[in-house]
Amino acid sequence: MRVALFDFDGTLVDSGPTVIGAAKEALTRLGFPVPDDQALKGFVGPPLLTGITQVLGVPVDRAVEFRDTYRGIYVETMTQAPLYPGIEDLLRHLTEDGWTLAVATSKREDLAARIAEAKGIAGYFAAIAGADITEENAGKGWVIGRALGLLKDQGVDAEGAIMVGDRLHDVKGATDQGLRSVFVTWGYGPLAEGRDAAAIAHNPTQLGGFLAELAA
């Protein structure tokens, strides 16, 4: 059975403007310095608490306070983030070709599901797996394992599944779970983060071709 797992932010949805905008407002409200836009791009994709402390520089003892402030701002605009061009066509073609698709994201699971529904793509996925509500279980290996478990519960043999994502933690999380990965360049990770992926795709059409090759 051909199975593909998709990261969400920076892979399916261009969430950068909504994520970065909410981060800037939360930093300002709480009196923290605001990094430049290039640095803020690194906040898109990693587990939230990791991004808060390691990218934004928020002290660990105020990370939960920041998370709650950020979340309250972000949920007001999160569904405004657009799909990347060509993504819906790719999902449709893969589904028509017999692929089983799932989401594996470090975003909180309920929020990813809400955005997928708002963008009209939820129906393409047999499972949407993400961080739990505490966001303590948000590492990529963990959410990939959750996605595989949800698929197994539906009788899907996900052995040989391929992970698709735009950040190093997508590639590493796949490796940790014994899976191959395809790195996509239209997201928020620098090209070097994809060096250990099985393939690097520069557009959704190319991604579809790589998935077919890897599954052959």
Q: In terms of C-beta density within 10 A (0-12 exposed, 13-18 middle, 19 or more buried), how is residue 126 classed?
A: middle
Q: Give the span between the Cα atoms of 108 and 37, in whole angstroms.
A: 24
Q: Which tens digit of pLDDT belongs to each residue from 90-103? A: 999 999 999 999 99
Look at residue 197 and tell me whether its pLDDT is greater than 80: yes
Tens digit of each residue's pLDDT (9 = 90 or more) over 83-142: 999 999 999 999 999 999 999 999 999 999 999 999 999 999 999 999 886 666 668 999
**Given 7, 14, 166, 170, which residue is catalytic?**
7
Active site residue 9: no
Same fold, 3-14+82-215 and 16-79: no
The closest of 141, 134, 115 to 8, measured between CA atoms, is: 115
Q: Where are the domains of the chain?
A: 3-14+82-215, 16-79
Q: What predicted TM-score, i.e. pTM, was given to this entire model?
A: 0.90
In words, the CATH class of domain 16-79 is: mainly alpha
Considering the domain delimited by 3-14+82-215, tell me its CATH architecture.
3-Layer(aba) Sandwich (3.40)
